[in-house]
Copies of this chain bind each other. A is one copy, B any other.
Amino acid sequence: MNIVVAQSGGPTCAINASLVGVFREAMKVQTIDAVFGSINGIEGVINDRLIDLKTMIRTDCDMDLLRQTPSTVLGSCRYKLPDSKEDDSAYQKIIQCFVRRQIGAFFYIGGNDSMDTVMKLSAYVKEQGLDVKIIGIPKTIDNDLCVTDHTPGFGSAAKYVATTMQEIIRDSSVYSVPSVTIVEIMGRHAGWLAASSAVLHANEQAAPHLIYVPERPMTLERFFEDLRCQMAKHKAVVVAVSEGVEVPESQSQQYQSGVVDSFGHKYLSGIGKYLEQAVREEFGCKVRSIELNVMQRCSSHISSETDIHEAEEIGAAGVRCALAGGTGQVMVFRRIRDVPYTVVIEPADAKRIANREKFLPKSYINEAGNNITDEALSYFLPLIRGERNIIMKNGLPQHFLIREDILR
């Protein structure tokens, strides 16, 4: 039989490591002939755009380069399968591709939306009496998938965020005037990544002095009060805030209508920029906001070795699960203990994961709702440990490069 693997959703540092895991494990199995890669997620299966991964990944060095190349080497998509009862045209195309290519298993590396595809497709395939195993391999820097202890991609993003946050803290403290620095971190509904910046507290750092996550309500008034308190103690106050944090004041007419760009459009400023302006108005002090932007999800030069290793292993475990007859399953991590850090990989029903979100436990957020507890540190710290020995070329990390025309 042949198998096909696809990557979906937003880029991470670990998603190509999971691809390596699937490929490497499949190469060990005599009953697997071709390993296809689908271009642009499930869209590649629908449009029959598959490439033979054995011609793409030829050497151990190729695999090493893939492990240190961020983003999705096979391209990605944001496509979500419709309900097959309403429209099964895409499903039929998928089935046609599976039959034509003699596919015995499909591995989908992605987040909540991709796990919805795993759930729907595995049910449809069964209904059609087709024996194709459908397996989900989790990935997202948001760490918001249910059931699994954490998601591949999160550890590297957290390591980047904390490393960069520490450097911003040093940068912010050089001048003699009081200042406020606000760092906006990805996370629309769940504050995992912003919260992970608290790992600096384990390294004798008081900063970030304030951390706000979407799980707890926040008001501008409370924020000002928190700031006043921190400014009395620290000359340079550093604040971490999830992009998803909302303050009721920002919903006011003034804010909604006031921000206009040069073309007359409403300017979509994030919460960081909003708080920056608010602090400037209220305190009149030096204030700066910084967006960590896409670097949070693609900075593989500072990826977590734990994360990259686990991402590969969970991909490999997906292959073994399919061979053992599993389908409609998502591979998850179950943490056995923090010290020494131990996890096992096991399958979970995709229904328990698809379209759901996991939020920060209450015990990870302090009572005041403006920082993260020490209890959370034992959860976060093992995930960011370890550095990869990056292959460099001309002083730069070497990436696995795929011909541009393949992804066009």
Contact = CB atoms under 8 A, between A and B. Distances in A.
A384 B396 contact: yes
Contact of A381 (B76, B255, B395): B395
A64 B398 CA distance: 27
A43 B176 contact: yes
Interface stretch (A142-150, A185-193, A292-300, A365-373): A292-300
Contact of A159 (B281, B381, B396): B396
Contacts of A203: 393-394, 396, 398
Interface stretch (A22-30, A67-75, A331-339, A354-362): A67-75
A399 interface: yes
Q: How many A residues are at the interface, by size bracket? A: 35 or more
B385 A395 contact: yes
Interface string A379-394: 0010011110010111
Contacts of A386: 395
B277 A263 contact: yes
A255 B262 contact: yes
B70 A176 contact: no
Given A170-B11, A258-B261, A396-B166, A175 B294 contact: no
A302 interface: yes
Nearest to A408: B235
A250 B263 CA distance: 11
A262 B293 CA distance: 22
B167 A300 contact: yes
Contact of A258 (B168, B264, B299, B393): B264
Interface string A79-108: 000000000000000000000000000000
Interface string A120-143: 000000000000000000000000
Given A277-B263, A301-B302, A173 B407 contact: yes
Given A170-B399, A171-B71, A176-B43, A281 B259 contact: no
B290 A293 contact: yes
Given A170-B71, A293-B290, A396-B162, A258 B258 contact: no
Contact of A70 (B75, B171, B206, B265): B171
A175 B9 CA distance: 9
B401 A204 contact: yes
A195 to B, nearest CB: 15
A399 B207 CA distance: 13
A348 interface: no
12 contacts: A40-B175, A70-B167, A70-B170, A163-B301, A164-B295, A168-B294, A170-B298, A173-B404, A255-B262, A262-B274, A295-B295, A304-B395
Given A166-B396, A203-B398, 7 more contacts: A167-B300, A167-B301, A255-B262, A263-B280, A290-B293, A291-B291, A386-B395
